[in-house]
């Protein structure tokens, strides 16, 4: 079995609800650059949910979040890094509530998901999708890591 090197693209977003759409667009561009055609909608749904959770619950004033996407061995991994405290939990499923279903959706559509503590303070919430070893042969240098200043 040939080990495929990991591909990485990332972008920093300021604390603003208007950044969820650009985060989804960045994720869609990344999947396209990597030639990943399956599970597109599921990945974008999870990007929206994780970015929204970071904005609502994880980012102190004056900070932002980082969206990282990795591609390796038939897997796409989405990570949203923030500098807030706390540990996200799957909601109880109160159907009358306006929110609280984001992580439930992520758990339902992703193959795996989890939370990793970061140092300095903060966390990364991640999810993974099997996309098949035949997809995404790679990309050129122009498509690698598109980040900006840390700001977390």
Q: Going residue by residue through the chain (152 aa), what tens digit of pLDDT does each one get?
A: 455 568 999 999 999 989 999 999 999 999 999 999 999 999 999 999 999 999 888 877 778 999 999 999 899 999 999 988 776 666 665 555 455 567 989 999 999 999 998 877 789 999 999 997 655 444 433 333 333 333 44
What local confidence, expressed as pLDDT, does residue 117 receive? Answer: 87
Q: Is 95 exposed, middle or buried (0-12, 13-18, 19+ CB in 10 A)?
A: exposed
- For residues 89 and 117, is the Cβ–Cβ distance under 8 A? no
Q: What are phi and psi of 39, to 5 degrees?
A: 65, 15
7-137 placed in CATH 3.30.565.10: yes
For 4, 13, 85, 91, 111, the CA distances from 39, given in Å and listed in that order, are 20, 24, 31, 24, 11
DSSP state of 134: T
What is the pLDDT, as a whole number, of residue 61? 78
The sign of the dihedral angle between the CA atoms of 69, 70, 75, 79 is negative
State the pTM of this model.
0.79
Other C-beta atoms lying within 10 Å of the C-beta of residue 89: 9
List the Cα angle 116/109/121 in 5-degree steps.
15
pLDDT (0 to 100) of residue 36? 96
Contact assessment for residue 12 and residue 147, using Cβ atoms and an 8 Å cutoff: yes
Say what the pLDDT of residue 16 is. Answer: 92
């Amino acid at each position: 079995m040939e080990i495929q090197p990991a591909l990485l693209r990332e972008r920093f977003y300021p604390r603003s609800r208007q950044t969820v759409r650009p985060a989804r667009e960045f994720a869609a561009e990344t999947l396209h650059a990597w030639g990943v055609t399956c599970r597109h909608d599921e990945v974008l749904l999870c990007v929206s949910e994780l970015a929204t959770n970071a904005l609502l619950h994880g980012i102190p004033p004056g900070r932002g979040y980082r969206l990282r996407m990795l591609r390796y061995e038939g897997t796409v991994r989405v990570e949203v890094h923030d500098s807030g405290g706390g540990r996200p939990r799957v909601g109880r499923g109160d159907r009358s509530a306006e929110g609280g279903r984001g992580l439930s959706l992520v758990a339902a559509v992703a193959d795996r998901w989890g939370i990793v503590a970061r140092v300095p303070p903060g966390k990364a919430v991640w999810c993974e999708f099997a996309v098949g070893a035949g997809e995404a042969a790679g990309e050129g240098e122009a498509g690698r890591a598109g980040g900006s200043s840390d700001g977390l």
